[in-house]
């Protein structure tokens, strides 16, 4: 009886399994296979070239720029989002009128397409007639070329993304704050801990589970950054702020180097795994006890 039921349960899971295998696992395998070929993406002749695509990436200057930027984005956005999100969570965790409205306002940009937010923010950083430079001009300050170099564009994208999307991190920490047993904070207060000390020595260590979730999720998500770059800096100037996702899509769709794009994609996947897995393991091994 139970066995028969188990088979039925399996059938119930089958559509999900088929979709995940067919549309998630299969593409990974196919991309891996493509990485071994010299192929433009549509012609019937694919030439097997072994590991050449992998090797070629290592001597491609723009691959290294894209990799460097992707790492800056991943770690930078994770750090800035967590600091901002934690600060905002402490702020909106207090009782005051309109805190629900403030919470909703901070979360609003998370709901809007990253491409669109990037497009709007582009007009803030424009050199000529940009909003930030216009404000500077009120104080007679020379306009700043915000996205002059690759690195400055990278930081513009990093800070903009973190600012716009820290609402999700804020909610994670808010959930953590609401989970902390009240007696703990009460007893700290009775012992005379000031509000800052209380936050630093008691609340923040107790938020560790939220912090782990937040760091891991943000890290994995920020590795994949694409939407906001594609409208805010478009990867420029001269590929200086490009991310790996952007670079791979350009290689595939603009230059018809499908095999090479797949090769970079495999490096990309490899980098994500060797960074995320140990961090995830290390963080999960730390447990808090109330």
Partner 1 sequence: MKNTEFKPKKHKKVRWWIPVICIVIFFMYIWPFYELIIMSIKDITDISSSKMWLSQGAHWENYLAVIKKSDIWIGFKNSIIYTGATIFLEITFASMAGYSLSRGSKKTTRTVRAVQMALLMVPGIITLVGTYSLMVNLGLTNSLLALAFLTAAGGIPGCSFIYMNFINSIPRQLDEAARIDGAGLFTTFFRVILPQLTPLTVTRAIMIGIGAWNNYLLPLYLLNDSRKRTIILVIRSAFSINGGDRDIAMACATCTIGILPVIVVYLLLQKKIIASQIGSSVKG
CB of 72 to partner 1, least distance (A): 16
Is there a cis peptide before residue 223, judged by omega within 30 degrees of 0? no
Which residue, 176, 200, 198, is CA-closest to 187?
Answer: 198
CA distance 114 to 230: 9
Q: Per-residue x/- marks for partner 1, 24-63, CB under 8 A?
A: x-xxxxxx--x------xx---------------------
Number of residues that bind partner 1 (CB under 8 A): 94
One of 8, 55, 68, 148 touching partner 1 (CB under 8 A): 8
Closest CA to 158 of 256, 238, 89, 83: 83
Q: Which of 136, 204, 220, 279 binds partner 1 (CB under 8 A)?
A: 220
**Residue in 236, 249, 256, 283 binding partner 1, rule: CB under 8 A:** 249
Helix axes 61-93, 258-284, angle to 10 degrees: 40
Residue 10 binds partner 1 (CB under 8 A)? yes
Shortest separation between residue 59's beta carbon and partner 1, angstroms? 21
Q: Is 273 in the site for partner 1 (CB under 8 A)?
A: yes
Residues 82-111 that bind partner 1 (CB under 8 A): 88, 91, 94-96, 98, 100-109, 111
CA distance 15 to 138: 61
Nearest approach, Cβ of 227 to partner 1 (angstroms)?
5
Contact call for residue 4 and partner 1 (CB under 8 A):
no
279 binds partner 1 (CB under 8 A): no
């Amino acid at each position: 009886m139970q066995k028969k039921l188990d088979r039925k349960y399996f059938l119930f899971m089958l559509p999900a399994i088929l979709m995940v295998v067919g549309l998630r696992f299969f593409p990974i395998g196919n991309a891996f296979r493509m990485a071994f070929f010299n192929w433009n993406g549509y012609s019937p002749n694919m030439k097997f070239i072994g590991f050449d695509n992998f090797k070629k990436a290592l001597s491609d200057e723009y691959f290294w720029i894209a990799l460097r930027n992707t790492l800056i984005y991943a770690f930078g956005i994770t750090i800035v989002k967590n600091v901002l999100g934690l600060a905002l969570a402490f702020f909106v965790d207090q009782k005051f009128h309109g805190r629900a409205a403030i919470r909703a306002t901070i979360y609003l940009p998370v709901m809007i397409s990253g491409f669109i937010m990037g497009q709007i923010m582009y007009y803030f950083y424009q050199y000529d007639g940009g909003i930030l430079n216009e404000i500077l001009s009120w104080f007679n300050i020379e306009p700043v070329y915000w996205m002059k170099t690759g690195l400055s564009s990278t930081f513009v994208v990093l800070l903009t993304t973190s600012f716009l999307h820290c609402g999700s991190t804020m909610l994670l920490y808010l959930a953590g704050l609401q989970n902390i047993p009240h007696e703990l904070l009460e007893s700290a207060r009775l012992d005379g801990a000031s509000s800052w000390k209380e936050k630093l020595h008691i609340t923040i260590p107790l938020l560790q589970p939220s912090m782990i979730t937040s760091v891991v999720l943000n890290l994995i998500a920020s590795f994949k950054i694409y939407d906001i770059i594609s409208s805010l800096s478009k990867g420029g100037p001269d590929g200086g702020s490009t991310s790996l996702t952007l670079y791979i899509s350009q290689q595939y769709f603009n230059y018809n180097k499908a095999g090479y794009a797949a090769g970079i994609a495999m490096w990309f996947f490899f980098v994500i795994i060797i960074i995320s897995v140990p961090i995830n393991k290390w963080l999960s091994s730390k447990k808090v006890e109330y």
